[in-house]
Structures are given as C-alpha cells and as structure tokens.
Amino acid sequence: MGQLFLKKVRKSFGHFEVIKGVDLEVQDGEFVVFVGPSGCGKSTLLRMIAGLDDTTDGDIVIDAERVNDKPPVERGIAMVFQSYALYPHMSVFENIAFPLRVEGLPEETIREKVGAVAKILQLDQRLQQRPGMLSGGQRQRVAIGRAIVREPKIFLFDEPLSNLDAALRADMRIELTKLHRDLQATMIYVTHDQIEAMTMADRIVVLNAGNIAQVGAPLELYHKPQNTFVAGFIGNPKMNFVPVTCVGVDAVGVTISYEGQTALIPVDGRADLVGKTLTLGIRPEHTRLSDGDINIMVTPSVIERLGINTIAYAVLPNGEPYCALLPGSAPVRAEQPMTTGIMAADCHLFNADGQALER
Ligand code: ATP
C-alpha cells in the first residue's frame, strides 16, 4: 500500500508561510505531479512528506498512520533528487545496495535485490563501475535504483531529470513511466517541465504561492482550467488573455463584445455579469488565419518558424502578450498586421476574480 493524505498542511519558515493549508489525497499506485512557479512550495511540500522538513501544522498520513513525528527512515518512502546524491567512491552495486546494508540484510539477499533492480534499470553491465564513469542518465538510474531497492510505499522525486539534456530527459521520461507501470507504486514527482507533468501524471497538482490552484488529470487541467492561474500555467505557449465586455447572458451562454464584434461563448453565466469586463482565454493553438467567430488583429513583432509550426508573438492594445500557433507555412511576417480568427467553442471565459465560467 502507499496511500497518502495531507490534511490542512502548513509550513512556515519564521514568519513566512510557505505552505498555506494544503489538503490532498493520493491513492495507492497513483503518479501525482506537483507543478507551479519557482518558489510556490513544491519542494517544501515534498520534503515535509519525506520528513526532511517538519510540518508547522496539519497532518501527514501514510497508510492510515499519522507520520508527522516519524523520522524519514520509518515512513516507508524513498526520495530521488536532481543531484543524484551518489557516493562517488562506491561502485554502482554498492550505491544501490547502500540502504540494504544500513538495514543489515544478509549478503545473499542484497545480491539478489540489487541484481533484480539493476536488471529493471538496465544497469546490470555497470555494477562494478563508479558513478564518475557513467553518463548523467545512468547516474540518475543508479539513484532511482537505490530508491527502488528499498521497496518503499511511496517514491518522491524532486526534479530528477533537470540535469539531463533534452534527448536524455525524453528517454528517462519514458523509462520512468514504464517503471511506474511495472512497480505500480505510488509516485509523487516535482517538476518545472510541462511535458513531464502532462505525460507522466495520473493527476497534476498545480501550486500557487503555497495553495493548491487545481488538482486534476492532465487533460482536465488543459480543457477545463478553473482559474486564470491554471489556464496560464498549463499549456505551451501559454494561453492568451483578452479583455472583453459581457453584453448578454442567457441559457445558451455569455455574449461578449470585443472591438465592435460580438460572440456567444457557450459557458454558464449570471445576469449580473452584463456590463462587466471579463477575460477571454484563447490558446495559441486555437488561433487561425481564416475568419472566426471573433477576429483579433495584431502585429507580430517576432515570428518563430519551427518547421512543423510557426509561432507569432504580438502585443494586444492593452499591452498584454498575444501569441498565435500557426501551421509551419503560415504566410505571416514580423511587423506585418495579421488577423487571427477564433471559434467561440474553443474559448474560455473568466470573471473579474479570474475564476472560470463553467463550460
Ligand atoms: P523551485 O521550483 O524554485 O525549486 P519550489 O516551488 O520548490 O521552487 P520551495 O523550494 O519549496 O519552492 O520554496 C518555497 C519558498 O520557501 C521559497 O520562497 C523559499 O525561499 C522558501 N524556503 C524554502 N526553504 C527554506 C528554508 N529552509 N528557510 C527559509 N525559507 C525557505
């Protein structure tokens, strides 16, 4: 089992509250990813679960047992860091075996367990080498091996791939996904990398300044962000936000006006929104150069051609950025005005507090 409950968990460093009452349930076998901007408290939350930082308030419960007062080694967790934290003078075998030696297991058992783990991670040919002789990806696999060998209830990963180059990251991402499938263990993973979060997570927890902004399956966050923070954080390039005026609300949706055009956005709204300024959310991938329900004219300052697509970066009249993700051959040029069409069904709408109107 590896079930984790966080109940009203708080953490302060001096007078500075970093985690502000987090409630979360992680089911046995789930792969949960924490994402959020730098400093939002991802690592602090992970370190509290591990027992490396104490908890100012609230409960951390693993398999129905409150573990706040338990030291890290008694929590049944294993943590893998960005920095690998390997012993340079020990062989790969001894690095992986280390936690088993600490436990005092017999040599025979250690050989068996290390052998099995090395096989899973394709390190069986490297067992006698020292970490200095390995690539970054291999070193990270040794660090993961040292975590697996203890058969923890919960794996905690703190940006484990961020020291690797892009190609190796992509390989390791796939390996970690397979590992999760094979071990069926509970994994909690902190990352800055959207692709890692979107591809590996069963559920993503988006943190904002010590609070949970939204928890959900990756595509749920992409399709139904509950607020502008999540809408802007999930998706790359990030969602465009365009100020519009609400001119009508009925059973079918909310009618908005932008620069003399009106469109009916199929979301739930209340009559008291009429006359208010709302924020229309448009993903760059939902813009096109043909006519839409709304057309937004901008002048891109920079065009990036990536082969498969073209990204045009512009600024709206209110000074906010506006980005269009267009086909590779899109006939756009820097400093030349372009009109992007948007379909109402693709749009998100947020109230003045940044909360999404439900679709
Ligand atoms: P990053 O993505 O940059 O790693 P993060 O979301 O993991 O950031 P944390 O490392 O959890 O953020 O830090 C959250 C906040 O807590 C930051 O403002 C940080 O400066 C502060 N903080 C973290 N550890 C300590 C500490 N030991 N003492 C004081 N403040 C700390």
CB-based contact 338:324 (threshold 8 Å): yes
User: Does 150 lie in the same domain as 39?
Assistant: yes
Which of 170, 201, 231 is at the close of a domain?
A: 231
The answer to whether the CB of 38 is under 6 A from ligand 1 is yes
Instruction: Kindly state the average pLDDT of the residues 330-336.
Output: 97
Binned at pLDDT 50, 70 and 90, residue 163 comes out as confident
Structurally, the chain folds into a number of domains equal to 2
The residue-averaged pLDDT of 163-175 equals: 85
Amino acid at 277: T
Q: Please name the residue whose Cα sits nearest to atom 23 of ligand 1.
A: 44
pLDDT in tens, 198-218: 999 999 999 999 999 999 999
DSSP secondary structure of 243-298: EEEEEEE-SS-EEEEETTEEEEE-S---GGGTT-EEEEEE-GGGEESS--SEEEEE
- Residue pLDDT, tens place only, 66-81: 999 999 989 999 998 8
What is the CATH classification number for the domain harbouring 165?
3.40.50.300
Do 39 and 155 lie in one domain? The reply is: yes
pLDDT of the residue at 69: 95
Domain presence at residue 356: no
What is residue 199's predicted lDDT score, i.e. its pLDDT? 94
How many Å lie between the centroid of ligand 1 and the Cα of residue 41?
6
Pocket test for ligand 1, best of 38, 44, 52, 207 (most atoms within 8 A of CB): 44
Closest CA to 123 of 108, 143, 107: 143
In whole angstroms, give the CA distance from residue 289 to residue 322. 14
Instruction: Determine contact, residues 49/219, Cβ cutoff 8 Å.
Output: no
One domain for residues 206 and 249: no
The 10s digit of each residue's pLDDT in 273-286 is 999 999 999 999 99
* Residue span of the structural domain in which 133 resides: 4-231
CA dist 252 and 28 (Å) reads 41
Q: Do 227 and 265 fall into the same domain?
A: no
126 and 261 fall within a common domain: no
User: Which amino acid type is present at position 15?
Assistant: H
**Within 10 Å of residue 174's Cβ, how many Cβ atoms?**
12
Residue 40 CA to ligand 1 center (angstroms) comes to 7
Q: Say if residue 299 is in the same domain as residue 257.
A: yes
Q: Render 104-152 in DSSP notation, one character per residue.
A: T--HHHHHHHHHHHHHHTT-TTSTTS-GGGS-HHHHHHHHHHHHHTT--
Q: Is the CB of 39 under 6 A from ligand 1?
A: yes
Return the ligand 1 atom nearest residue 45 CA.
Answer: 11
The answer to whether 325 and 309 have CB atoms below 8 angstroms apart is: yes
Residue to mutate (ligand 1; options 9, 11, 12, 13; most atoms within 8 A of CB): 13
Q: How far is CA 227 from the centre of its chain?
A: 16
What gap in Å lies between CA 346 and CA 247, rounded to an integer? 19
Q: In what order do the strands lie in the sheet with 65-66?
A: 16-26, 4-13, 57-62, 65-66
Residues 128 and 10 in one domain: yes
Same domain for 149 and 35?
yes
> Does ligand 1 come within 6 angstroms of the Cβ of 42?
yes
Q: What number does the ligand 1 atom closest to the CA of 36 have? A: 6
Say yes or no: 179 and 140 in one domain: yes
Q: What is the pLDDT of residue 11?
A: 98
Whether residues 346 and 207 share a domain: the answer is no
Pocket mutation for ligand 1, best pick of 10, 16, 18 (most atoms within 8 Å of C-beta): 18
pLDDT at position 50: 95
CATH code for the domain of 339: 2.40.50
**What interface predicted TM-score (ipTM) does this complex get?**
0.97
Distance 79 CA to ligand 1 centre (A): 17
DSSP string, 191-242: -S-HHHHHHH-SEEEEEETTEEEEEE-HHHHHH--SBHHHHHHSSSSPPEEE
Last residue of a domain, one of 204, 231, 258: 231
In a shared domain, residues 80 and 128: yes
CB-CB contact of 180 with 73 (8 Å): no
Reported as a single tens digit per residue, the pLDDT across 293-322 is 999 999 999 999 999 999 999 999 999 999
d(CA 61, CA 59): 6
Does 283 lie in the same domain as 175? no
Confidence of residue 84 (pLDDT cuts 50, 70, 90): confident
- Would 357 be classed as within a structural domain? no
User: pLDDT tens-digit profile of 234-249?
Assistant: 999 999 999 999 999 9
